[in-house]
Amino acid sequence: MISRDQMFKPMLAACPSFMPAWAEFCAEWKKEPGDPPLYIALGDLARHLVKGLRSNSTEEFPAVFKVVERWHCEGDHYVKEAATIGLLEDIQNNAGHEGINPGVFEQWLLPESRKWWDKLNRFWDGDVRALRDG
């Protein structure tokens, strides 16, 4: 099972272009007590991916979304929720704010991640029960 403290290791292997932003995040939060706020790092990753899409730098995307799928399938509760709310939702929001149709990312989603992507869409369409597991 992938835990919170293990979740970024496979992502950094899949997306080495994110390493500078990750290093900056770690340096910023190193001096703070407690665990770093990974949802902020996931927001940074979402912006990085949207920027990659905009610049047509998507060669890492298959590996990135394979990790996202692993988070959904093999993660503990925190990791699964962070994959959906911390990353997928941020991708949708950031893409929309950049004038990009978030649906463009669907081509890289694997089955479990696609299920949660669709649940996010249903939630934002007014189905307040959509994000419940099961």
- State both tokens at 103: 């649906």
Phi, psi (5° rounding) for residue 127? -85, 90
DSSP notation for 44-109: HHHHHHHHHHHTT--TTHHHHHHHHHHHHHHB-HHHHHIIIIIIIHHHHHHHHHTT--GGGGGGG-
Q: What confidence tens digit (pLDDT) does each residue in 68-124 have?
A: 999 999 999 999 999 999 999 999 999 999 999 999 999 999 999 999 999 999 988
Q: What digits encode the pLDDT tens for the residues 12-44?
A: 999 999 999 999 999 988 887 778 899 999 999
Determine the Cα–Cα distance for residues 41 and 109; give it in Å rounded to an integer.
Answer: 20
| pTM listed for this prediction | 0.93
Bridge partner list, 75: 2
